[in-house]
Amino acid sequence: MFDEMADGIDAVLIGTPDHAHFCMAMLAMSLGKHVYVEKPLAHTFGQSERLIAMAEKSGVVTQMGNQGHSGANYFQFKSWTEAGIIKDITKIDAYMNNRRRWHGWGTSVKAYPEDPMPAGMNWPVWCGPAPVNPFSKRLHPQEWRSWFDYGSGAFGDWGPHILDTAHRFLKLGLPQSVQVLKREGPNDFVFPQASTIRFNFDARGEGLPACKVTWYDGVGNLPEVDPALGDVSLKSPGKILYGKDMVFQGGSHASTLTILPREKFLEMRKDLPRISGKNSNHYANFLLACKGEEEARSPFSVAGPLCQVFNLGIIAQRLGEDLTFDPKTRAITGNADAQALLDPTPREGWEQYYKL
């Protein structure tokens, strides 16, 4: 497409499976095209690192498709942080407990299954820089998210919609360690049936304290909530943020925060900052940014480090091992297998996109 009509293209939207985002986005940016890439930004930590660098080098407008980052949750979290209402957060519990595609069958997988290839399917191109495994209906269409080689599980699917504002406005950056607290039904090929993964972030400047972020996925795998916080529903994906003086609960995407217990929220409600809701949505924001009329709200400089947190979590989830990570050297220490998964070598023939 670029060979035939690159001069007629201003921007590119990438909504392919996770493993294919990187090469397309790198090529588009190298040609000076603005890019909107669905979440998660990339399949590996190293891919995310290169996308962040290319976005800065090329100067194009970039946006990741975590749509809530242009919604009420974004503007409320920003204003409450600036007003000093959200502060001293030392613990966050994030949960995504809906049934996933691999639940119920993932533990039985011993190898990639195989089905007849559909007519006209260019399977090696679909696999891109990832390994070429047999085609099957358990992989394509729609099932790719279940597999380590191609998808990012619940982390990649829901993490960018749940933890985006906390990561940004609390300036969490990258963790110093990742702990595996639970891994139910582990498998070498597909994601666990349930997992609890903790990210430990050191204290940051500007008085931001150390923070433990614990992720829960899997049906029925939920964090414990102090009864003193009231009747707290955990039916929908979301998070609870614990500060020194206040506790907040929020959902996913554009869902706004509330203060726990509810009686405290009602007591403070009149004095809380108001948000107008009169802002461009995520798609319009990207287009307006391409035209120079707004700044993109989820550029790769913001979305990249967020997704790198999840990239690290997936490695811990996959190996079932705690990780020690050095944000300065961008390396996992003391674990060669985990370090290899941080930036895997692409399949032969796809190296060119890693060298742009």
Average pLDDT over residues 46-59: 98
Q: What is the DSSP string of 34-54?
A: EEEEPSSS-SSHHHHHHHHHH
Which amino acid type is present at position 245? D
Q: Cα angle at 33 between 31 and 39, to 5 degrees?
A: 120
d(CA 159, CA 171): 16
Enumerate the β-bridge partners of residue 195.
183, 217
d(CA 121, CA 125): 9
What is the reported pLDDT for 277?
74
What is the reported pLDDT for 3?
95
Host H or E run for residue 182: strand 177-184
- pTM flag (> 0.95): yes
d(CA 61, CA 41): 14
**Start-to-end CA span in the chain (Å):** 18
Alpha helices (H) in the chain, listed in sequence order? 2-5, 21-30, 45-58, 72-82, 123-127, 153-162, 164-169, 262-268, 282-290, 300-319, 336-342
106-152 pLDDT, tens per residue? Answer: 889 999 999 999 999 999 999 999 999 999 999 999 899 999 999 99
d(CA 124, CA 320): 30
Q: Where are the strands (E) in 204-265, listed by range?
A: 211-217, 238-243, 247-250, 258-260
Residue 175 confidence class, pLDDT cut points 50, 70, 90? very high
More confident residue, 322 or 277: 322
Largest CA distance in the chain: 64
144-173 pLDDT, tens per residue? Answer: 999 999 999 999 999 999 999 999 999 999
Q: Which two tokens stand for residue 94?
A: 């994030």
Q: Which phi-psi region, left, alpha or beta, contains residue 36 (left: φ > 0; alpha: ψ -120 to 50)?
A: beta
d(CA 356, CA 347): 16
62-96 pLDDT, tens per residue? Answer: 999 999 999 999 999 999 999 999 999 999 999 99
4-40 pLDDT, tens per residue? Answer: 999 999 999 999 999 999 999 999 999 999 999 999 9
142 in Cβ contact with 16 (< 8 Å): no
d(CA 198, CA 322): 9
d(CA 27, CA 79): 37
